[in-house]
Amino acid sequence: MTRPALSVLFVCMGNICRSPTAHGVFRHQVAQAGLAKVVQVDSAGTHNYHPGEPPDERSQAHAARRGYDLSDLRARQLRGSDFEAHDLILVMDWDNLAQVREECPPQHLHKVRRLTEFCQRHDSPVVPDPYYGGAQGFEQVLDLVEDASLGLLRHVAARLA
């Protein structure tokens, strides 16, 4: 019997730095775990700043150095249908959390969480926005996202078991 797919949506502000990085990293980990057929991964932004654009070149370059390809991803804004379509909606920071909760229908609020809740090694309440900073910010995003993705993968595998 085939298990139903579980869908995870990552959300940041513009969907060009943090959420596509999380999308690419988690998608890679899901594929390595052999779960690509049962776990769906997507990303979106709370704002419609960059519709249809690829991830920030710096995000792509830093991710590529760690073996993650983000080149096929395109920015989009969070839609009302996302709340129904996804089992987990994971936001990057407090502003994202507040906005997503405000837009989320009450029956789906339990799906909305911070990605860093799944961190196992790092103790950060948020994934900080690297957009206006330097290379270290993009590396910090990857460090937090990789850590949280491993914890998330354990969580997802347990839900599918």
Give yes or no for a contact between 127 and 43, defined as CB atoms under 8 angstroms apart: no
Give the C-alpha distances (Å, rounded to integers) separating 113 from 51, 72, 104, 110. Answer: 24, 26, 12, 8
Q: How many CB atoms lie within 10 A of CB 74?
A: 15
Q: What are phi and psi of 69, to 5 degrees?
A: -100, 115
Spatial separation of the C-alpha atoms in residues 23 and 139, rounded to whole Å: 16
Helix spans in the chain (H)? 18-32, 57-65, 80-85, 94-103, 135-160
Q: Which residues carry out catalysis?
A: 12, 18, 129
The Cα 134–Cα 116 span in angstroms is 21
11 membership: H or E segment, kind and range: strand 6-12
